């Protein structure tokens, strides 16, 4: 809206199928520029705001707290006399901008269908490491408690090896408390 251009549009402005690939590459890299005639009338504060919002690295991206106190949004004393590049202001170039916006959305939707989207938190490397650590810790705990109980039973009773499987003598009586402990070999 500030410049009347799509942020990641190709410099050659050809809207072929390959430009969709280029647009997605530019989005993934954060490859955009404020060069050109369209950006000449946009303030540096506004450009800084856009730069902060379009930063690829989420740790470096402008957060809501930063947005709330952003100089361009807060300083009402320096209102620009330059109008925003709305379709009315753009006039005949509005159709070209509309076409570029449409191509960008088409590219994004195409790649979204092919799997370009934000990952589920469970698939993030940190979440995977935590899950692996949790699994290995619980396995070690089970293993050590098993060794501990085996070790304590070995020391108190000597070494035992199971030789037979005991079963209730009459399956119908298995719920009866009187016959519960009557087993056959």
- Structural contact between residues 173 and 179, judged by C-beta atoms closer than 8 angstroms: yes
Domain presence at residue 132: no
Number of domains in the chain: 1
Q: Read off the pLDDT of each residue in 79-104 and give the average, rounded to a whole number.
A: 63
CATH at residue 105? 1.10.510.10
Domain presence at residue 23: yes
* Per-residue pLDDT tens over the stretch 9-59: 655 555 444 467 777 788 888 888 887 777 777 888 888 888 888 888 888
* Per-residue pLDDT tens over the stretch 123-181: 777 888 888 888 876 655 555 554 544 444 444 444 555 554 455 555 555 454 544 44
Contacts of 174 (CB under 8 A, 6+ apart): 168, 180
Domain presence at residue 136: no
Between 176 and 76, the more confident residue is 76
Domain presence at residue 174: no
What was the pLDDT predicted at 73? 81
Domain presence at residue 162: no
What was the pLDDT predicted at 180? 47
Domain presence at residue 95: yes
Domain span including residue 63 = 17-122
Instruction: Give the orientation angle of helix 93-113 with respect to helix 17-29, to 10 degrees.
Output: 80
Domain presence at residue 134: no
Domain presence at residue 135: no
What is the rounded CA–CA span in Å between residue 183 and residue 185?
Answer: 7
Confidence grade of residue 4 (pLDDT, cut at 50, 70, 90): low
What was the pLDDT predicted at 152? 47
């Amino acid at each position: 809206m500030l410049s009347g251009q799509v942020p990641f549009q190709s410099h050659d402005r050809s809207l072929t199928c390959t430009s969709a690939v280029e647009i997605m590459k530019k989005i993934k890299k954060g490859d955009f520029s404020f060069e050109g005639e369209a950006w000449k009338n946009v303030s540096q504060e506004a450009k800084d705001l856009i730069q902060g919002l379009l930063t690829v690295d989420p740790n470096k991206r402008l957060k809501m707290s930063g947005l709330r106190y952003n100089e361009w949004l807060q300083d009402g004393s320096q209102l620009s006399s330059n109008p925003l590049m709305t379709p009315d202001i753009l006039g005949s170039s509005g159709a070209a901008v509309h076409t570029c916006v449409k191509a960008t959305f088409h590219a994004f939707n195409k790649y979204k269908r092919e799997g370009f989207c934000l990952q589920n938190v469970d698939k993030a490397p940190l979440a995977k490491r935590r899950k692996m650590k949790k699994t290995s810790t619980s396995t070690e705990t089970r293993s050590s408690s098993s060794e501990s109980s085996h070790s304590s039973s070995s020391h108190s009773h000597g070494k035992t090896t199971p030789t037979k499987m005991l079963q209730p003598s009459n399956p119908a009586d298995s719920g009866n408390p009187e016959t519960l402990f009557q087993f056959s070999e």
